[in-house]
């Protein structure tokens, strides 16, 4: 039991270490609010333009990675997509996390709660 607890705590800390630094300067916007299943949604974030990549996830089991694209003219990274109608995707509140993998240093991330209808 003690070994199981130690392994669990160690894996928990390893998982937290890979997130990087929570950054209050990252401004994530998701429209429309609430997000509607079967309708297009747009996520924008003001991550640094020199970031190597920006990736988002919805904090549920099996969530795909949402790969953001860079728009240098507007100075934003964005992701556009549609949440499908599915028996596995239920209306409710979901936590969205977006991580900016910077060219130097640890990744920076931000989170927000999104309502899905």
Confidence at residue 18, expressed as pLDDT on a 0 to 100 scale: 61
Residue 83, domain member (yes or no): yes
Residue 92, domain member (yes or no): yes
Under DSSP, is residue 25 helix (H, G, I), strand (E, B) or coil? coil
- Give yes or no for residue 83 having a pLDDT over 60: yes
Q: Which of 30, 56, 55 is nearest to 44 (CA)?
A: 30
Residue 5, domain member (yes or no): no
Residue 9, domain member (yes or no): no
The range of the structural domain enclosing residue 70 comes to 21-116
Q: For tokens 């640890």, what's the residue? A: 106
* CATH code of the domain in which 110 resides: 2.60.40.1930
Cβ atoms within 10 Å, residue 90: 10
Query: Structurally, how many domains does the chain consist of?
Result: 1
pLDDT (tens digit, 9 = 90+) per residue, 15-52?
444 679 999 999 999 999 999 999 999 999 999 999 99
Q: Angle at CA 78, nearest 5°, toward 113 and 116?
A: 30
């Amino acid at each position: 039991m003690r070994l199981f607890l130690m392994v669990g705590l160690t894996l928990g800390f390893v998982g937290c270490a890979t997130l990087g630094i929570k950054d209050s300067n990252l401004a994530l916007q998701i429209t429309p609010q609430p997000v509607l299943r079967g309708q297009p949604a747009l996520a924008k974030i003001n991550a640094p333009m020199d970031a190597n990549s920006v990736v988002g996830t919805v904090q549920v089991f099996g969530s795909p990675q949402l790969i953001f694209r860079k728009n240098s003219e507007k100075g934003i990274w964005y992701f556009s997509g549609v949440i499908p109608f599915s028996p596995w995707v239920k209306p409710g509140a979901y936590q969205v996390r977006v991580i900016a993998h910077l060219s130097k240093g640890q990744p920076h991330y931000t989170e927000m709660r999104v309502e899905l209808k």
